[in-house]
Amino acid sequence: MEKDRTLTLEEEYEEYLRNRPKQAAEAHMQPAPVRVESEETYAPKKKKKRRKKHYFLRMVLFVLAVVGIIVLMNSSLFDVQEINVSDNSYFTAEQVIARSGIEPGQNIFFGIDKKKAKKGLMEDPYIKNVTVERNLPKTVNIIVEERAEAAAVPFADKYIITDVEGLVLRVSEVEPKIPLIMGLTIKEMEPGKALEVEENSVLNDTLGMVSLMQESDVYFKKIDISKVMVRAYVYDSLICQGMPEDITKALSDGTLQAMLYRLYTDNIEHGTITITADTTNMAFSPIYE
């Protein structure tokens, strides 16, 4: 086999000059590379545009829905036509409605201020609590919790009416048909506030006795605390005397009711029942002092 002849440096240079124009022409004729985006590269851009468009559409639909609901709520379909009042006894339904400020024709959503109605009613001492309810589409319910008159305290030529907690409800010029508490020294008597007397402790015990009296089917016309022992009048000439806590205990365990029943069956309407800590050993005297 014939060996390849080794080219000298001069021959290699001549060969390079002969081939150079051909290489340049071939390089010039080749097209420039074109960047082609694949489907995977283009798809995210389309998704972003589509996502923005859907988000804007949802926002428009949401705003339109909210506006539609507000317009509907503010329409005559939700104008109040009926106002119901329950659990009231001292005030009439008309008085409760007037004090609440709620009127027929007001919008049940935007025309009624429940907090304002409750506040207006609870400014009166007789109102202990109020609940205002919307009963769609046209009804409002007002549920009232009232304070009940429990006792009256004579003061000059008037009577201070209180509940069982000693809260002053009103001052009356007419004697009410509730138990009178006699012998108190008045310090403050403002309606809506607790009655303040020098004998606060005895007053609280006596009001507790009045509260239990209402539950025990016993009625005291008046209670005199001016002496050491409380005197509770069943009739004008039949009294129970003792410490408030002892009378309360006798009411609670039923021994006082049993004694009064025996006197009633014997047609006894005058005398004195003396009650001590041992309520089973109360004494009766036909003598009325």
Model pLDDT for residues 29-45, shown as the tens digit of each residue: 555 555 555 555 555 65
Looking at the domain 151-285, which fold is it?
Answer: Rossmann fold (3.40.50)
pLDDT of 125 above 50: yes
pLDDT of 251 above 90: yes
Model pLDDT for residues 50-98, shown as the tens digit of each residue: 666 677 778 888 888 888 777 777 888 889 999 999 999 999 999 999 9
Per-residue pLDDT at 148: 95
Per-residue pLDDT at 286: 93
> What are the boundaries of each domain within the chain?
79-146, 151-285
79-146 and 151-285 have identical folds:
no
Domain 79-146 has CATH 3.40.50.300: no
pTM of the model: 0.73
Question: HEC profile for the chain?
Answer: CCCCCCCCHHHHHHHHHHHHHHHHHHHHHCCCCCCCCCHHHHHHHHHHHHHHHHHHHHHHHHHHHHHHHHHHHCCHHHECCEEEEECCCCCCHHHHHHHHCCCCCCECCCCCCHHHHHHHHHCCCCEEEEEEEEECCCEEEEEEEECCCCEEEEECCEEEEECCCCEEEEEECCCCCCCEEECCCEEECCCCCECEECCHHHHHHHHHHHHHHHHCCCCCCEEECCCCCEEEEEECCEEEEECHHHHHHHHHHCHHHHHHHHHHHCCCCCEEEECCCCHHHCEEECCCC
